[in-house]
Copies of this chain bind each other. A is one copy, B any other.
Amino acid sequence: MKLEQIETPAALIDIARMQKNIARMQAHMNTLGVAFRPHVKTTKCIDVVSAQLAAGAHGITVSTLKEAEAFFAAGIDDILYAVSIAPSKLPRALALRRQGCDLKLVVDNPTAASAIAAFGDQHGETFDVWIEVDTDGHRSGITPEQDALLEVGRILHQNGVKVGGVMTHAGSSYELDTPQALAALAEQERAGCVRAAQRLREAGIACPAVSVGSTPTALAAAQLDGVTEVRAGVYVLFDLVMHNVGVCALDDIALSVLATVIGHQTDKGWAILDAGWMALSRDRGTSKQSHDFGYGQPCLLNGTLLPDYVVSGANQEHGILSSVQGGAHVDDIAQRFPIGMKLRILPNHACATGAQFPEYHAVAPDGNSAAWRRLQGW
């Protein structure tokens, strides 16, 4: 299907930009001498993930067991489930391992570690568990010097569970916007995770894998001594939040929402789009950054940026496009954006916007597109 024929709203992936983003990250990982395990939570799409693996990635990271099940069914068996597991989900994890999936679990507390050990013992399964390390205080994990690190390690190790590694995610990198700050956080993330591995090893626990990453820190890292692999997700498409963080240009953003102009309120300087928050998502990630892009940055169908305009508001199926200067362009809004005109809206957050759609339309350089399915649910 040609780009012009796609019904709106639709989530478009610019394949050339996506491949450039994939190549850039993989080349950086190769230079740093570490394996790369992409986080598939951004796209939940086998077509995208196949391109990441083809470029040199080793295994995948998932955010849900549904992703693990679907990507294992698609032939990928090296899978890290990167959320500390709820004990009630262990039967699904066991089922995957029994089918031959090399599924690795994550844990950051003694209770869940004990539950994994007991469940594994009960079912004769040696789970492979990575301990989540907190290197920036933004969310989960055990800090490298906490007693709980060795406590969890010992609960697993002494009860027949394989401690496969340590992993951390410096998600606070999303709040930064200078190369210096990103490089410093990348080093903090590396050093903290390596230190946690060192403490476990000193306690007699092998801990072969040292896994770090977020898109900003992965791209900012200058050296990753002691690290065995990096994880990142949103780099594959990028978005306006990542642009504000400073790790991509607007022209690198490979995801856009195709929308049609369906109305005007000329006295307010508004063009009304058929892409509201149901299509763009409610993510307003740029609202606290240096440049607030509202609900998204409009572009022409050919990708040309329209920097004087923004999607300034959104209801469920209506987006409001207006001038960034307020009333300056009021008079010509209906002429500039006639009924039926199609636009592409760059999103704040590729993970959130993609999740609103059952499929992407992947657009090749010749303008032809293919439908790439996404997963939904847990």
- The chain A residues found within 8 Å of chain B, CB to CB, are 7-10, 41, 63-64, 83-89, 92, 108-109, 111-112, 115, 134, 137, 139-140, 171, 260-265, 268, 272, 274, 277-279, 281-284, 315-318, 320, 338-340, 349, 351-352, 355-359, 376-378
CA distance A357 to B346 in the complex (A): 24
Neighbouring B residues of A274 by C-beta, 8 Å:
83, 86
CA distance A134 to B7 in the complex (A): 27
- Chain B residues lying within 8 Å of A139, measured Cβ to Cβ, are 265, 272, 315, 318, 320
Partner of A140, one of B111, B265, B340, B356: B265
Q: How far is the CB of A376 from chain B (nearest CB, A)?
A: 5
C-alpha spacing A357/B277, complex, angstroms: 16
Task: Please determine whether A83 and B262 come into contact, CB atoms closer than 8 angstroms.
Answer: yes
Contact of A355 among B92, B262, B264, B278 (CB under 8 A): B278
Closest 5 CB pairs of A and B: A282-B282, A111-B339, A86-B260, A358-B377, A282-B283
User: Assuming A262-B86, A281-B282, A359-B377, is B316 touching A63 (CB within 8 A)?
Assistant: yes
Could you tell me if A86 and B355 are in contact, using CB atoms closer than 8 angstroms? no
Min CB distance, A43 to chain B, in Å?
12
A273 to chain B, nearest CB (A): 9
Measured in the bound complex, the distance between the Cα atoms of B363 and A292 in whole Å is: 41
CB within 8 A of A109: which of B112, B137, B263, B351?
A: B263
A355 / chain B contacts, CB cutoff of 8 Å? 278, 356
Verify B376–A87 contact, CB threshold 8 A: no
State the Cβ distance, A377 to closest chain B Cβ, in Å. Answer: 4
Question: Other CB < 8 Å A-B pairs besides A108-B263, A284-B284, 11 of them?
Answer: A7-B89, A41-B317, A63-B317, A83-B274, A88-B340, A139-B320, A140-B272, A279-B378, A282-B284, A355-B356, A376-B376
Taking the nearest CB of chain B, how far is it from the CB of A331, in angstroms?
A: 17
Residues of B within 8 A of A268 (CB): 137
Chain B neighbourhood of A108, CB < 8 A: 263
In the complex with contacts A7-B88, A64-B317, A352-B277 CB distance below 8 A: yes
Complex contacts, A279 vs chain B, CB 8 Å? 378
Question: Closest approach, in angstroms, between the C-beta of A292 and any C-beta of chain B?
Answer: 15
Bound complex: CA A203 to CA B316 (Å): 34
Contact between A87 and B340 (Cβ–Cβ < 8 Å)?
yes
Tell whether A86 pairs with B340 under 8 Å between CB atoms, given A140-B265, A282-B283, A376-B376: yes
Residues of B within 8 A of A284 (CB): 282, 284
- Among B111, B263, B340, point to the contact of A338 (Cβ < 8 A): B111
Bound complex: CA of A171 vs CA of B320, how far in Å? Answer: 14
Q: A263 and B340 in contact (CB under 8 A), knowing A282-B282, A282-B284?
A: no
List the B side residues contacting A262 at CB < 8 Å: 83-86, 112
Cβ of B377 and Cβ of A84 under 8 Å apart?
no
A288 CA to B338 CA in the complex, in Å?
33
Q: Please indicate the chain B residues that have their CB under 8 angstroms from the CB of A282 in the complex.
A: 281-284, 349, 352
- How far, in angstroms, from A171 to B318 measured CA to CA in the complex? 12
Partner of A377, one of B87, B89, B357: B357
Residues from chain B with Cβ under 8 Å of A85 in the complex: 262
Residues of B within 8 A of A265 (CB): 134, 139-140
A22 to chain B, nearest CB (A): 20
A272 and chain B: residue at smallest CB distance: B140
